[in-house]
A and B are shown apart, each in its own frame.
Chain A
Amino acid sequence: MIWNTFILALRGIRRNVMRSVLTILGIIIGVAAVITLVTIGNGTTAQVTEQIAAMGTNVLLISPGQRHGPGAASTAPSFSVKDVQAIEEHITDLAGVAPSVSVSAVAVVGNQNWSTTISGTTNDFFAVRNWTMKAGRTFSENEINSGRTVCVVGDTIRENLFGDGDLVGQKLRLGKVSCQIIGLLEAKGNSSMGRDQDDCVIMPMKAVQRRFSGNKEIPFIQVAVKSDASTTTASAAIQSLLRKRRHLSDNEEDNFRIMDTKELASMLTSTTKTMTALLGAVAAVSLLVGGIGIMNIMLVSVTERTREIGIRLAIGAYEHEVLLQFLVESVVLSSFGGIFGIILALAASFGASKMLAIPFVPDLSIIIIAFFFSAAVGVVFGYFPALKAARMDPINALRHE
């Protein structure tokens, strides 16, 4: 009996290939769109979180300039070596203090050149930013103090200027300055802002100040707080120290800014979450449109289906048999479309996550919701016209126009 109904339902699907395909298509598009977009959104969020974790969640970024108001940064003085030393001396629980001077320059090797950013800093930089060495070494005490033109390069520099060959000990020209490579950093990939973190050249700070920026200003200090200490406490201590050193009276605002990476993390995460929600909303619209498509196709075929039901009733089918058949038909179609949509979505989002270099994070609850929504639309609009028809007198169903 059940088997018979199942056979009849499959025959019904086979007889109406076009209608079946369109129904399935509506479900596939709805399900696939939602799952794909949400999965990509989740992947982006996961990537941001991952990158912030890689950057270290206990890092404070200190830069001159007010928290509020445009143009403030240009008038506020930079930091000096003495500021860095004061932080190192007076603030406890710090894992590292890395001053940083950045300039843009074109790196040249032979006839190849590559535009990049040079950061002048100390060895603390590697610890603060979680860099590990792939080859070579970090700076020696002597190189730091005397400002020798040696450098550690990121993986992008190696890739674009050296290829696969060994580059430690080789020379690199940065603008007019010749520089010896002493180390290669492990590749890190893109940052949460989409910047290529591996596109960098690290030099002793004095070398950058002397050969490139031409002054002794330090526009950026990164501080790593020990993992068991509070960044909030450290941040407050640094703030009061810097206020004192910059001679700010009590009613003046800070002319520098301390940003906690935790703060940055929550900001970025909330941004990507908003984006995911937005993508989800767009996808929900396509799910709805898919549902309306299914509804249309089902309603258009009501006349034909009513006649068919009339015929079945006339030759002795029971109401419940006809209904069961149509229900099975709808469920089979909807599940088929849903499963196909899920497979398509997983394939598409897997491909997209590979292409965008983000983690692949499928969300089971979204998959289930999308599947059941489409299935419900398919079943409701496949089943209810049938329900109406099956309750008519056979002769009226047969005559239905």
Chain B
Amino acid sequence: MAEKGHPLISLTRVTKAYGSNEARIFALRGIDLTIDSGEFISVMGPSGSGKSTCMNILGCLDTPTSGQYTFGGVEVSHMSRKQLATLRRFYLGFVFQGFNLLNRTTAMENVELPLVYRGIPPKERKALARKALEQVGLAGREAHTPGELSGGQQQRVAIARAIATTPSVLFADEPTGNLDMARSHEIMELLKQLNREQKITVVMITHESDMAAYSDRIVYFVDGQVADIENGHAPAVKGGQDR
């Protein structure tokens, strides 16, 4: 989708406000950010700094109050609901902080869901879903419903659902928030691998610098603004030999 010469994603003076008049609160106070195709970016910052809000806007789940958001050189704020849905369907993957899995639905069916909307035939769909579950280490749990899975397992189902479609951009809101160290690193290796091999652009919110260390760039959010962009790598504990 990205044309040559354009960054994949570009935010210009993007704001997001909640409430009205005196009670108006700005969650984003003018964000400028560009992300190139194939990048692996971490977003860090204290709670309430607007990371998630920004991510929702990037993921086309929410609309900015003002400013421009272009995706692949196309202005997103002018898009119809249907166009936005198409964008989500074919180009974006999203791992939610709260997982947002369908209750009483098996892990398999949850992972299959975006593939169903893409119109992929059942046989292929099942194969892709099974592969994604294997990749997150949930082989054998296909028939379990979210209620029968631990928080960590639910998180991995959510990751599997997002990567099953091999999106252009994967947005992940604290994808390792509920996982132990070993499992967190496994997931990060997986994201890194997808980023490298399938050229999936990854944008990830994290609180852990360990995890941020896997990324190419770290964007720091403070009080609804981008405070700092760190190229290269944060204090690296592990990995970081990619460039």
The chain A residues found within 8 Å of chain B, CB to CB, are 1, 4, 7-8, 11, 15-16, 304, 307-308, 310-319, 321, 393-395, 398
Contact = CB atoms under 8 A, between A and B. Distances in A.
Interface string B112-140: 01101111000000000000000000000
A316 B85 contact: yes
Given A393-B63, A395-B56, A315 B102 contact: no
B60 to A, nearest CB: 8
B114 A11 contact: no
A352 B81 CA distance: 56
Nearest to A321: B117
Given A313-B85, A318-B85, A395-B56, 7 more contacts: A308-B102, A314-B61, A316-B86, A316-B114, A317-B89, A398-B61, A398-B96
Contacts, number: 70
Nearest to B114: A315
A318 B117 CA distance: 8
Interface of A is mostly: helix
B104 interface: yes
Interface of B: 56, 59, 61-63, 81-82, 85-86, 88-90, 92, 94, 96, 100-105, 109, 113-114, 116-119, 161
A315 B94 contact: yes
B85 A317 contact: yes
Given A316-B85, A395-B62, A311 B117 contact: no
A316 B102 contact: no
B41 to A, nearest CB: 20
Contacts of B59: 314
A1 B119 contact: yes
Contacts of A4: 116, 119
A316 B118 contact: yes
A1 B121 CA distance: 11
A284 B109 CA distance: 41
Contact of A315 (B63, B109, B117): B117
B81 A319 contact: yes
5 contacts: A307-B100, A313-B88, A316-B90, A317-B89, A317-B117
A308 B81 CA distance: 18
Given A393-B63, A395-B61, A398-B100, A316 B117 contact: yes
A316 B113 CA distance: 9
B23 to A, nearest CB: 18
Contact of B100 (A311, A318, A319): A311
A15 B105 contact: yes
B61 A315 contact: no
B96 to A, nearest CB: 7
A307 B146 CA distance: 15
Contacts of A1: 119
Contacts of B92: 316
Contact of B113 (A15, A16, A307, A315): A315
Contacts of A321: 117
Given A310-B100, A398-B61, A398-B100, A315 B161 contact: yes
A319 B81 CA distance: 8
Contacts of A16: 104
